[in-house]
Amino acid sequence: MPQLNKGGKFVFGKSLVREDLSLCLPPQAVEEYDICSEGRVYLFTGAKATGGFCVTRRGILLPSKLSHILSDMPELLDYTAPEGDFVKYKGRGYCWTEVSPEGWLRFTVSMLDRLKIRPGDELMCIRSSDIAFTLGHHGPLFERAGNYQGKVDVY
């Protein structure tokens, strides 16, 4: 799916949080970020304006300008923190979780509570940077999507 407005953020589509607490990442985001290549991803809480969470992996984060996140939290770097348990760092929560080879995430109730999302929510998958993509829950992009005349795929 293209940008919702000229010069705006690129939207991969929407992902539905299913009743079984799973979510399918849009295939284009999975491919662009090679997100399944390590079998694990990092999630971190989103900005107040969009809510939701961001998704990245160690191979992207470690060589980036945000590598200090992992060097300051070795329990994330080496995956010794319990899967799905958010660790607070500089105002955001970070955790790791497994991702299936097809791009599926599985949440726990406590993860969803921490992210302030629930089954049935549609999250807009947005290209944030070359480091992570966002699954946003609310905000201006959602308003623009409601007026968008094209098709928004839901995964």
Q: Domains along the chain?
A: 11-145 (3.40.1550)
pLDDT at 6: 44
pLDDT at 114: 96
* Residues sharing a CB contact under 8 Å with residue 50, sequence separation 6 or more, in sequence order: 124, 126, 134, 136, 137, 138, 139, 141
pLDDT at 59: 98
* Cβ proximity of 107 and 17 under 8 Å: yes
3-state secondary structure of 99: strand
Alpha-helical regions (H) of 46-153: 58-61, 68-72, 74-77, 109-115, 140-147
> Which pLDDT tens digits describe the chain residue by residue (155 residues)?
444 444 457 889 889 999 999 999 999 999 999 999 999 999 999 888 888 999 999 999 999 999 999 999 999 999 999 999 999 999 999 999 999 999 999 999 999 999 999 999 999 998 989 999 999 988 876 666 655 545 566 78
* Residues sharing a CB contact under 8 Å with residue 37, sequence separation 6 or more, in sequence order: 57, 59
**What is the maximum alpha-carbon separation in the chain?**
46
Whole-model pTM: value is: 0.89
pLDDT at 145: 60
pLDDT at 147: 52
pLDDT at 50: 85
Taking only the tens place, the pLDDT of each residue in 5-36 is 444 578 898 899 999 999 999 999 999 999 99
